[in-house]
Amino acid sequence: MKPARKHSGFTFVEMTLALGIMATLIVAMGVMAQLVFDGEHYNEAYARVVQHARVALERIEGNVRQATSNPEYPGALVIEQTIGSWTFPDTLVVWRPETTAADPDGAPQIGELVIYSYHPGAPNELWEITDRGNTRTAPAAADAAAWQTLVESLKTSSTSKKVVLTNRLRTATVDEIGENDARYRRGCVRFEQQMNPTAANWASYQAGTRAWEDLDWTQTIYGPDSGLRQSRVRVELQMTPISSVTEMPSDDLPPVAFFGAASLYYPLPR
């Protein structure tokens, strides 16, 4: 009589361990696949937001460099809005007529202005606003309240043209005002202007309290009859990487900041 053959196989414990190892490997592979997908998704979104920022900055910078200017209007103005203890320099006005300015030595017409600001109803959008048929005279350069009123009216005007430069602006909320206030949610765009000589320097010269030679001339370029002024505009766009135009920016996503700058040079007569 032959002895019974022993059958090799896995015990219950061995099967349990093997299944556990397989489950761990499957989960790890799934996590790795998700990380690869998320990385590809972010890279695609980042590439798109870089393209949006480049187009927007080039458009703004080009108009600033080709702006019309005179001693009373420096070619570009930053319009600020103050809410509580916060100041938002999020609107830029550029004197950029389509051809020649109607009065290059005086005040611009509203139709000669190009305005950059966020869309109040969809603050993730950066707008370029024009109203080319408007022949009314713009406010005085120092009248900040009148400029703020003008900008708000053009944002809602049916005759003004609005071009969306990007819909990927990061948005933020102003906690000091109620959620029902139209100013509660804002696009994260910032403009800053520097002039040499500054407006205060020039005013003191006109008032006779500062000598012509003591003005802060750009690169010390001045003569007996005129001097060179620089009007420099800096731009900061905080963008949210999204890969689809139907995907809304989220405050939870890390923003990406883009910076640009443009300068305009023009003479100031003595």
**Which has the closest alpha carbon to 136: 115, 112, 116, 157?**
112
Measured CA to CA, the distance from residue 235 to residue 261 in angstroms comes to 6
Determine, yes or no, domain membership for 126: yes
| pLDDT, mean of residues 141-150 | 94
Domain that residue 238 falls in = 38-269
Predicted local confidence at residue 232, as pLDDT: 96
Tokens of 70: 């005179």
CB half-sphere exposure, 174, CA atoms < 13 A:
21
Determine, yes or no, domain membership for 6: no
Predicted local confidence at residue 10, as pLDDT: 62
Residues with Cβ within 8 Å of residue 64, at least 6 apart in sequence? 75, 76, 94, 233, 262, 263, 264
Total structural domains within the chain = 1
Determine, yes or no, domain membership for 7: no
Determine, yes or no, domain membership for 29: no
Determine, yes or no, domain membership for 33: no
Residues 55/166, Cβ–Cβ less than 8 Å: yes
Determine, yes or no, domain membership for 1: no
Determine, yes or no, domain membership for 23: no
Measured CA to CA, the distance from residue 136 to residue 188 in angstroms comes to 30
Predicted local confidence at residue 183, as pLDDT: 82
Residues 72/141, Cβ–Cβ less than 8 Å: yes
Determine, yes or no, domain membership for 21: no
Question: With a threshold of 0.95, does the pTM exceed it?
Answer: no
